[in-house]
């Protein structure tokens, strides 16, 4: 059992004993994992889980320790790292994971990883 699965189980047993509601949040996380590259909104995810937007954000954060938007950004950045390591250009990786602007992508990438995306690309070209 992964760390996140254990955390969800612990929280669901103490805070949200109704397993159906917690299952909806798990499904929404799975939805984000699959559709991260698409133009998805928190409102649409919350509606599919039968939550209001703000209640969904609170429940998701209590289960996973971060908001759905923070989680979506981290999933996108992780997939972008993989693409860059495989030799994709910065702009190709940016658009492939669902960002609309290479400037915003580069700034967020640097903020989350500590270095710009071009450094990963340069490291891979050296080998």
For residue range 89-124, list pLDDT tens digits in order: 999 999 999 999 999 999 999 999 999 998 876 665
Give me the pLDDT at residue 21, please. Answer: 72
For residue range 41-93, list pLDDT tens digits in order: 888 888 877 788 898 898 889 888 999 999 999 999 999 999 999 989 999 99
Q: Where are the domains of the chain?
A: 3-65, 74-126
Quote the pTM value: 0.79
> Is-contact 32 72, C-beta < 8 A?
yes
Structure tokens at 119: 């450094």
Which fold, 74-126?
Answer: Arc Repressor Mutant, subunit A (1.10.10)
DSSP string across 71-91: HHHHHHHHHHHHHHHTT--HH
């Amino acid at each position: 059992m992964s760390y996140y699965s254990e955390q969800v189980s612990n929280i669901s047993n103490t805070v949200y004993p109704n397993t159906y509601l917690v299952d909806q949040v798990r499904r929404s996380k799975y939805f984000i994992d699959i559709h991260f590259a698409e133009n998805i909104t928190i409102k649409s995810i919350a509606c599919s889980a039968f939550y209001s937007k703000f209640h969904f954000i609170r429940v998701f954060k209590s289960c996973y320790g971060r908001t759905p938007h923070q989680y979506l950004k981290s999933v996108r950045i992780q997939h972008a790292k993989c693409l860059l390591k495989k030799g994709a250009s910065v702009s190709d990786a940016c658009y492939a994971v669902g960002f609309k602007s290479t400037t915003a992508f580069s700034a967020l990438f640097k903020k989350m990883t500590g270095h710009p995306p071009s450094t990963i690309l340069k490291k891979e070209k050296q080998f």
